[in-house]
Amino acid sequence: MNVSHLLDAINELDTYKRYGKIVRVVGLMIESKGPEASVGEVCVIHSSPKKGETILAEVVGFSEEKVLLMPYSEITDIAPGCLVEATGEPLQVKVGRGMVGQVLDSLGRSMYESASLKGLRPYPTDQSPPNPLSRPPIEEPIQVGVRSIDTLLTVGKGQRVGIFAGSGVGKSTLMGMIARNSGADINVIALIGERGREVREFIERDLGEEGLKKSIVVVATSDQPALMRIKGAYTATAISEYFRDLGYDVNLMMDSVTRVAMAQREVGLATGEPPTTKGYTPSVFAILPKLLERTGTNASGSITAFYTVLVDGDDMNEPIADTVRGILDGHFVLDRKLAEQGQFPAINVLKSISRVMNHVADSEHLDAAVRMRNLLATYEENQELIQIGAYRKGSSKEVDEAIEYHPKLISFLKQGTHEPVQNVEAVEQLIQLVGRGGQG
């Protein structure tokens, strides 16, 4: 028996444990003298040696030979002189098929007290995006199950889309519809910075029992430390990558990427980074492309990603919205005005775009979609004249046609929360409504 490789492994094994001591705690930041560790490494803080309690923390920087740590949990038991032990590894979560149907925290642990997950293996949360040349092109549509998206904003397998909306315009409801009705094999849903009350409501009302059966939900509520909110996004992305590598078509839904950016801003400011636009630190604009580029296609499977972006005061040009829109392959804008008129889902199709639709939809479908957009745009341009009665019928053939079609188009765009729609059926309805009907 050849044991040389085992002996080599033993010789390379580092048997030393490296410790340091806490010297200072300021706000979110813990400073310790030692141990020898690198940025991104997880350390264990022995907060109460008598009770044997420990707190996990991550190295986020260095200052004058001191190690700067941020905890994954509350730090009420930490005192000067507490031991800090280096693990020598970055954060890993355990992943596997046993996660499906579970609700997890940012460290991949089940939030159901009675649940025990089996058949899992360690997987790093922080990974590099795939090589751009190894990504297969997006050529196949994926069913989203929302009529207005499948027909006018067709999504491709492996596309990354931003859902831009203010508060209370129906983001969570739309995500629940996509999770229940989509053609993906598995949904990974990350609820980052949500109110605690909304988590259970989303799981029971919006997602429902059927949706949960093929979903993995990762939760980091707003009361948790900033690092846990950031790690929630990384953990959900890592779980999606694991299933993609097994050959699955995965839907990743993150609500919201804005709260991930806010958590990174907290970490950046605590480590001494200078604030830039709207107080966001440079690291925020560095981590967003790294996180968002990890999704998409690879040689094995695909991750179709939907990232919600909170737009303060419905300002579409605020820094995070602007940055995310430039990285992703399309954006859906939820319009408060449409929601107030009772049109749900409140997607403003004229302000929204899918950058891969031309590659995944056939010519008849594209022609019908362009025609419907033209009718909607013509009506919107002349809406004020029509509403005050200043427009005279017969003045313009295009406007007359837009007025005639408008009630049917709005009826087509409306969809009940629990009204499943098949992709093929929705496209056929669109072509019958404006395609063949308009040409005849």
Of 41-55, 96-110, 171-185, 260-274, give the lowest mean pLDDT range. Answer: 41-55
Report how many domains make up the chain: 3
Tell me the pairing of strands 186-194 and 41-48: unpaired
The Cα 305–Cα 139 span in angstroms is: 16
438: pLDDT confidence band, cut at 50, 70 and 90? very low
**Which pLDDT belongs to residue 370?**
96
Domain assignment of residue 55, yes or no = yes
Residues 161 and 224 in one domain: yes
What one-character-per-residue DSSP string does 384-432 give? HHHHTT-PPTTS-HHHHHHHHHHHHHHHHH---TT----HHHHHHHHII
Cα end-to-end span (Å), the chain: 81
pLDDT higher than 80, residue 347: yes
Q: Is the confidence at residue 208, as pLDDT, over 60?
A: yes
Report d(CA 74, CA 189) in Å as an integer: 25
* 338 and 397 part of one domain: no
29 and 178 part of one domain? no
Q: What is the pLDDT of residues 60-77, one digit of tens each?
A: 999 888 999 999 988 878
Q: Specify if 272 maps to a domain.
A: yes
For 88-118, how does the pLDDT look when each residue is reduced to its tens digit (9 = 90+)?
A: 899 999 999 999 999 999 999 999 876 677 8
Residues 319 and 335 in one domain: yes
Domain match, 204 and 340 both: yes
User: Which among 326, 360, 394 is the end of a domain?
Assistant: 360
Beta carbons of 162 and 331 less than 8 angstroms apart: yes
User: Is there a single domain that holds both residue 427 and residue 355?
Assistant: no
Could you tell me the CATH number of the domain that includes residue 381? Answer: 1.20.1270.330
pLDDT the model gives residue 397:
92
Residue with tokens 């009350």: 197
Last residue of a domain, one of 360, 391, 424: 360
Q: Are residues 347 and 377 in the same domain?
A: no
Residues 348, 201, single domain; the answer is: yes
The predicted-structure confidence for 363-376, as pLDDT tens digits, reads as follows: 999 999 999 999 99
Is residue 194 a part of any domain in this protein?
yes
Beta strands (DSSP E) in 140-258 are 160-165, 186-194, 215-221, 249-255
Residues 176, 144, single domain; the answer is yes
Confidence (pLDDT) at 13: 63
Q: What is the CATH number of the domain that holds 38?
A: 2.40.10.170
User: Do 163 and 270 form a contact (C-beta atoms < 8 A)?
Assistant: no
Domain-terminating residue out of 330, 345, 360: 360
Tell me if 285 is assigned to some domain.
yes
Does residue 439 carry a pLDDT above 80?
no
Indicate whether 97 belongs to any domain. Answer: no
Residue 58 Cα distances to 32, 127, 290, angstroms: 12, 16, 19
111 belongs to a structural domain: no
| Distance (Å, whole) CA 261 – CA 265 | 6
Give the domain CATH number at 275.
3.40.50.12240
Region 329-335: mean pLDDT is: 95
pLDDT, tens digit, 9 for 90 and up, residues 123-160: 999 999 999 999 999 999 999 999 999 999 999 999 99
What is the average pLDDT value for the chain, to the nearest integer? 91
Q: Are 335 and 369 in the same domain?
A: no
Do 334 and 265 belong to one domain?
yes
* Tokens 């107030």 belong to residue: 340
Q: Is residue 51 one of the residues assigned to a domain?
A: yes
Encode pLDDT of 225-269 as tens digits: 999 999 999 999 999 999 999 999 999 999 989 999 999 999 999
Domain that holds residue 53: 16-90
Would you place residue 328 in the very low, low, confident or very high pLDDT band (cuts 50, 70, 90)? Answer: very high
Q: In this structure, are 250 and 333 located in the same domain?
A: yes
Average pLDDT over residues 189-216: 91
- Tell whether the model's pLDDT for residue 78 goes beyond 60: yes
Taking only the tens place, the pLDDT of each residue in 5-43 is: 777 766 766 667 788 999 999 888 999 998 999 999 999
So what's the pLDDT on residue 75?
82
Model pTM score: 0.91
The residue count for the chain: 440
Which range scores top for mean pLDDT: 271-275, 336-340, 347-351?
Answer: 347-351
Q: Is residue 110 part of a domain?
A: no
